Structure formats: structure tokens, C-alpha cells
Amino acid sequence: MPRIETDICVIGAGSAGLSVAAGAVQMGARVVLIEGHEMGGDCLNFGCVPSKALLAAGHKAHDTARGAFGIAGHDPAPDFAAAKDHVRAVIDHIAPVDSQERFEGLGVTVIRDTARFLSETELQAGDTVIAARRFVVATGSRPLVPPIPGLDGVPFHTNETIFDLRERPAHLIIIGGGPIGLEMAQAHRRLGCRVTVLEGAKALGRDDPEAAAVVLEALRAEGIEIAEGAQVTAVSGTEGAIRVETGDGATHEGTHLLIAVGRQPNVEALDLDKAHVGHDRKGVTVDRGMRTTNRRVYAIGDVAGGAQFTHVAGYHAGVIIRPMLFGLPAKARTDHIPWATYTDPELAQVGLTEAEARKRHGDRLTVARADFAHNDRAIATGQARGFAKVMVVKGRPVGATIVGPQAGELIQTWALAISSGLKMSAIAGMIAPYPTLGEINKRAAGAYFSPRLFESPLVKRVVRFVQRLP
């Protein structure tokens, strides 16, 4: 049986694994990369990339249909199959960056097979045994399929299959009102589908409820039916005639079904116990340095059981590169990690929500707010809905919520502020070009200082004193 000895063996060629492999090999380490499925992982093939491409197609159709600014709208007659061609073209355009050929060109040994540990120091991929000084488990996650009665006998989609569907669903039922479910709801609605979203608790329940309400109102205004508190109890039917029953006694009938209730880590096939790597249903157990119970093994990205975002996977890769290659200590943080839901309007968050900040900081918290209704660029472009609010403690932001146009772009200012420990004065002192959406961040910072300047008796006394001077 062939045997390879290497410095670093990475299991999984998604965002996390590719980042480690590329960085490590270019800095002189010997690297073996193992991938049993698609290079690029979930993000490229089934997640971030195709979903944003489909959303872009839906956005184009929506803008074409909507009249505004004296320009009449007209029926765009969306070509659903052509929209899927766009999705495939985007994936194909990006794929070479994540390809086996590129990584082999960098000097990485790529093995296309599934991996399983043999011991604390060895694993097997196909017919090859790999012994490494360090292992990185970056196997990601997959769609969680809940044990709903009848689901095993009904055709359904997950994010791994929905982008291959070329015939437009007449009525798409989505189980799950989180970011994935609502993004797909809006994309399909704008491409001509009737859409029903069934959420067992609160839609966008992990986000600030005030911000989530803005998104849900917009989606409902587009004709998307969103039922909250609708716990699915049974599914039945055949392709083209799906029947979903919920605990409130309601029955929903549609042509297609999408399951979007969450993710589960890919750990079952790894034989982690043979490597003495601790794990549970949430994923691999890691410390703050992303190290497992076996000090030779790290776990990063979705499989590590934390926030399941591509940018978090990339961040984890950067954290473990320091100790693996240079022997330097490094610990992962979570307080500065942003996330976004790419509906229209977008919703983005970094750090603590208002509710979390009030619970943690109590009376020390100040909430500074600015509305897009007062942002001149948003008014000019017909996007003046939503707001930005910043949670501030002792002059420093500890969290920010933005709902509105390009919220995913705008949240980056606050991600930088929190990660770098900047004060609100740094944002207030920033010069933003006019008119831009980014001014809303400066206005929010200004809103923090306004009461201290305009409502302070001391400030007024000082100003009156100075005015009496010759």
C-alpha cells in the first residue's frame, strides 16, 4: 500500500481546507490535501456562490418588472433554465481558483478520495496511507434533514440539489425560515414561483427582531407567504403534488419542497475515535486555538461546530497557520465576526445584538441609531428603508445591526472597529464621500455623540463663556 509522509495533511477542499493548503505550501511546508467530493466544497458548488448568483437573476427580474423614476416596468418573463445557466456559469468561472490543477501547481499533493483515521498519526485515503506531523479536519457540513413523518417517501430538495432544478416550480414550499430559506424564497418568487415558507419558531430568529421585521415585511409585500410558529408534523404526496401539515392544523400544498432547517457536521466517515479526537453531534471538539483533543489534529470551519460561514472558515485557517508553521500561539475570537443575509433588503450583524448587549452590559449600554430614510443616496435610489444601530459601551462599539441596501458591505466598517478596538470617535471622524450609503455609519456614530454635545449643560456654559471673550 502506498505511503506518504508529510508535514500537514488537510482533509477537505472547501474554503477552510484550501486556505490552509495554499498558505502552508507557499510558505515551505509539505502538504497533502484530501477531497472525496467536489473541489471548492459547499460554498462554491451548493452554497454561497450559486445562491448569490440566483439572487442576482431574481433581482434583475424584479427590477425589470417594477416601474420607478418615471420608467415603466414590464413583464420580464423570467427564463428559469437560463437563470440556472447563469448560476452554472458563475460556478465554472470561479472553479479554477479552487481546482485540483491549481493546487497541484502550487506543490500540494491532492488525493481525490475519502479519508479515515487509522491512528493518532496516520490516516488512509483510498489505497494510500498518509502519516503527518499535523492534521487539519476541514470536512464542512451538509444539509440537516429532520425526521419529519413521511419525508422519506416524498421527493424533496436541499441546497445540494435545488440549483440543478431547471424546471420552474409552480409552488415551492420551503421548510425553514432562516437565511438560506428566505434567500431562496425571494430568489424563486422573483423568478416567477409561488413560494410558501414554513418556520417552526420565528423567521430569522437569530437576528435582531426589529431588523428581521423589516426583511419579513418586504418579503411578504412581494407575495411570499411566511408562516411562523408552523411546526411541520407530516409530509406526503408525490412529485408535483406535495402536501405539508403543520401543528397548528394547517395544510399547505405545493409542487416542490425545499428543506432548509440547518446544517450538520461531516464527521461520521472519519473514524475520529481511532485518532482520539473528541466529537459530538455539533462537530469536532476544539479549544480556542482550534486544536482537538489530539494535539496533532486541528478542526476548522463548519465541522468545528461554531458559526457556519465561509469567512469564518477562512479566518480559522489563518488562526491555525501561526502555530502549525511558526510555533506561535493564536486563539480564535467570535466577537468580531460579521454575517449577512442577502435578501432585499439585506440584513447584517457583527458582535452583540441589542438584546444580547442589554443583557450583558445593562445600563452601561448606549444604542446609537441612523435610518436610511435620512440617507440621501438611499432616498435618491428609492431604497430608503431600514436602519443601522450600534451598541456602544464606554465609547466603543460592541455590536452593530444594519438592515437595508448593501448591509453586507456596510457592516464591514463596524467589523473593523470591533476587531481593532476602535472608538466611536474614529468612525465619527471618518470622512465619507457624499452621497453614499456608507454615510449611515458616520451618522450612527454622530448620533452617539449628539446628546453629549447638544444636550450637555456643561457644553452650553463653555460655549457661552467663549462667546463673551473678545
The annotation status of 52 as a binding-site residue, yes or no, is: yes
Cα(first)–Cα(last) distance of the chain, in Å?
Answer: 93
Residue with cell 498558505: 23
Across 191-208, b (16+ Cβ under 10 Å) vs e yields: bbbbbbbbbbeebbeebb
CB 228 within 8 A of CB 247: no
All three cell numbers of 375, joined, read 440617507
The annotation status of 177 as a binding-site residue, yes or no, is: yes
The annotation status of 199 as a binding-site residue, yes or no, is: yes
The annotation status of 254 as a binding-site residue, yes or no, is: no
The annotation status of 182 as a binding-site residue, yes or no, is: yes
CB 4 within 8 A of CB 34: no
Q: SS3 of 353, please?
A: coil
CA-CA distance, 94 to 115, in Å (whole number)?
26
CA-CA distance, 255 to 253, in Å (whole number)?
7
CA-CA distance, 142 to 190, in Å (whole number)?
27
Q: SS3 of 50, please?
A: helix
The annotation status of 178 as a binding-site residue, yes or no, is: yes
All three cell numbers of 335, joined, read 466577537
Dihedral sign from CA coordinates of 388, 392, 397, 400: negative
The annotation status of 141 as a binding-site residue, yes or no, is: yes
Q: SS3 of 6, please?
A: strand
The annotation status of 140 as a binding-site residue, yes or no, is: yes
CA-CA distance, 278 to 188, in Å (whole number)?
41
CA-CA distance, 44 to 15, in Å (whole number)?
9
In degrees and rounded to multiples of 5, residue 157 shows phi and psi of -115, 155
Strand bridging mode 194-199 / 171-175: parallel
The annotation status of 181 as a binding-site residue, yes or no, is: yes
Residue with cell 407530516: 234
252 Cβ partners below 8 Å, 6+ apart?
173, 196, 198, 227, 243, 244, 245, 246
All three cell numbers of 124, joined, read 488512509
The annotation status of 107 as a binding-site residue, yes or no, is: no
The annotation status of 395 as a binding-site residue, yes or no, is: no
Q: What are the helix (H) ranges across 364-456?
A: 376-380, 407-420, 424-428, 439-454
Q: What are the helix (H) ranges across 7-99?
A: 15-26, 41-45, 48-65, 80-94
The annotation status of 365 as a binding-site residue, yes or no, is: no
The annotation status of 283 as a binding-site residue, yes or no, is: no
Count CB-CB contacts under 10 A for residue 394.
11
Known binding positions for NAD(+) = 176-183, 199, 262
Known binding positions = 52, 139-141, 176-183, 199, 262, 302
Known binding positions for FAD = 52, 139-141, 302
